[in-house]
Structure 1
Amino acid sequence: MRAPVFWDLPGHPLGRLLAPLGEIYGSRVAARMDRAGNKAACPVICVGNFTLGGAGKTPTALALAAMLRKIGLEPAFLTRGYGGRLTGPIAVDPSRHGSADVGDEPLLLARSALTILARDRPAGVELCRALGAGVVVMDDGLQNPSLAKDLSLAVVDAVSGIGNGLAFPAGPLRAPLSRQWRHVHGLVVIGDGGRGEDLATEAASRGLPVHRAKLVPTVPAAVAGKPVLAFAGIGRPRKFFDTLVEAGATLVETRSFPDHHPYRAADVAGLAAWAEALGAMLVTTEKDMVRLPADFAAGVTALGVTLRFTDESRLLAQVKRVVEAFSPPNDRAQPDASSPLRA
């Protein structure tokens, strides 16, 4: 879905009108989050967010997997596979699966490590373990109570934060923020300034570590100085367009699609004709690229991004504490708000 403009505008009439519905929805999600989950046979690290839409979870999950390898662990990604038809549990194979099967994010994750798609998260963890994983990284799932998490990181975009601070459909929050904090062990703020600073301050006041990071684009040389028709179906396409401008591209036109948009024949035909008329090259995101028909994708350039932490050692230390503190399900209790793993 495409986020309504009023979600970013505190005090907007539509937000106030829908607030009662948001309170009902948010309270139900919060109550669900409070349920006890199944304990896994290996550490589970959740990379989630407070809101609907993109915040940078997938780049964070990829960076986290790289960190885990630094301490000698073999990670596996666990994902629901939003937008795909398969329910799993199944190991994602980019040579066999397309975005219609598993969604876009699992295809990106599978390039880096074993990726298990499972709507049933506990069953997914079992398959991760059976295939040799030493630790599981959940891409999304903060609000899903089926699986107990040993470490939950909430990812926020520094500029957008939590929008108007209201729960869906009045705003982007999945549940009231006050109810979600109790399930979080650390905050990852991507970018500088903006509304994310308020969240960073609140996290620090709650004794939670704040990990700061930036998305570093991998800009193809062909883009610099060239006229570009940029298109994207992601949570915040404006960020992608701005990145292209900063990289030196001449942005002649842009086209935004809903997040996870499945590109149809009419979409790609229209983009191709538009680019030809403008004399521009087509550029999109890596996430969009895996949803494009192969013949069309061959003529499109993808802009990749890598997440870099300001102080990676601090997050790595927190992750190591979690791994070292882990014990089998029968010997451990689920971490609570006072857990030393938050430090």
Structure 2
Amino acid sequence: MKRTAPAFWWREAPAGRWLAPLGWPVGFVAARRLGDRPRARLSIPVLCIGNPTVGGAGKTPTAIALAALLKADGRAPVFLLRGYGGLLKGPVRVDPARHSAVDVGDEALLLAAHAPTVVAADRVAGGRLAEEIGADVVVMDDGFQNPALHKDWSALVVDTSVGVGNGRVTPAGPLRAPLAPQLSRAQALVLIGDGRRADPVAAAAEAAGLAIFRARLAPQDPERFAGKRVLAFAGIGRPEKVAATLREAGAEVVRLAAYPDHHVYRDADARELLEEAARKDLVLVTTEKDIARLAGASGPCGELRAAAHAVRVTLAFEDPAALRLAYAGALRLGL
């Protein structure tokens, strides 16, 4: 089972220094992969939303926001992703009426609500399926470090409340590869939130010539949770983000039940949450990804799905016009 990220990843601590030698070979291999020549190019542009670190920084909301801008400009985007946590290797077009999170992963179901979505372990094959179903641009959710498919424009997403943590490569820290080679392969940096932990990353990105964009995640219909006493639960990269979002909406988060990223809920988990909520008279709230993983469940997990409210968030760029200009060259829009 995938574990939650260790706390020492996000601060300077002895464990990170002790594990640093284990991160060196990982970083070496990852940096070499970043430098590999892409093996295939599609006939349509590929825009990639990546993350320099392991765990959630906001890639999926960023991909959704990017697709919305493209659709507003008359484009026909198709999402492409691996479908982490799903059994299907693809390439397959996601059908929410037929597929579950067990089949294609939770992120694919969220994306499919906004634009046609393809899941494929082989990104090249997935990109070609996107072409077949009518895409005129592919938006990749993750896959930045995968060299198989040529990307015409790539943006790295960083959560400003944590930045890149201790700046070390996994398992010593949260980085998937050393930061410098990752920045050298990207064209833009998206900073989500108003924290200061990403300031060094922003400075490095600016020095490397990347365009920098700021964005903010905000809950939809925050009044739904204002004044409510909440039992929040989440199995995402950083579960504490759910609690922060709910507090921003005016909720009192009595407890946050944090599970590993992409956690598959068991009946025992559901019973514990349902019983605690009933005993303490709390409202159960979780993320859209967790709701997607519970969809179609029966027994206690089905009861949890019916009882839980999803806190939905949207990402808004501070300067969407500047973002359009940044990727216009890749799209040959001539803006």
TM over 0.5: yes
Aligned to 1:167: 169
SS at match of 1:291: helix
Question: What value does the CA root-mean-square deviation take over the aligned residues?
Answer: 1.3
Count, aligned residues: 325
User: Once the two structures are superposed, what CA deviation does each residue of 1:252-283 show, in whole Å capped at 9, x if it has no partner?
Assistant: 22210011111111111111011111111100
Report the CA distance between 1:226 and its aligned residue.
1.8
1:287 pairs, out of 286, 289, 307, with 289
Letter in structure 2 aligned against 1:64: L
Aligned to 1:21: 22
Letter in structure 2 aligned against 1:22: G
User: Once the two structures are superposed, what CA deviation does each residue of 1:108-142 show, in whole Å capped at 9, x if it has no partner?
Assistant: 00000000000000000110000000000000011
Q: Is 2:300 the counterpart of 1:299?
A: no
Between stretches 95-104 and 212-221, larger displacement belongs to: 212-221
Aligned to 1:35: 36
Within 2, Cα distance between the matches of 1:246 and 1:212? 19
Give the gaps of 5 or more residues in structure 1. 327-343
Within 2, Cα distance between the matches of 1:214 and 1:71? 22
Letter in structure 1 aligned against 2:93: A
% same residue: 51
Between stretches 238-247 and 55-64, larger displacement belongs to: 238-247
Q: Which residues in structure 2 correspond to 1:213-224 (within 5 Å)?
A: 213-219=215-221, 221-224=223-226
Letter in structure 2 aligned against 1:30: A
1:183 pairs, out of 168, 182, 185, with 185
Aligned to 1:331: none
Aligned to 1:54: 56
Report the CA distance between 1:229 and its aligned residue.
0.7
SS at match of 2:18: helix
Within 1, Cα distance between the matches of 2:161 and 2:174? 14
Report the CA distance between 1:220 and its aligned residue.
5.4
1:75 pairs, out of 74, 77, 80, with 77
Aligned to 1:271: 273
Report the CA distance between 1:305 and its aligned residue.
0.5
Letter in structure 2 aligned against 1:270: E
Report the CA distance between 1:45 and its aligned residue.
0.5
Q: Is 2:311 the counterpart of 1:309?
A: no
Q: 1:220 to 1:265 in 2, by over 3 A?
A: farther
Within 1, Cα distance between the matches of 2:225 and 2:218? 16
Within 1, Cα distance between the matches of 2:282 and 2:108? 30
Within 1, Cα distance between the matches of 2:195 and 2:260? 26
2:328 pairs, out of 320, 323, 331, with 320
1:250 pairs, out of 242, 249, 252, with 252
SS at match of 1:298: helix
Within 2, Cα distance between the matches of 1:222 and 1:307? 19
Report the CA distance between 1:325 and its aligned residue.
7.6
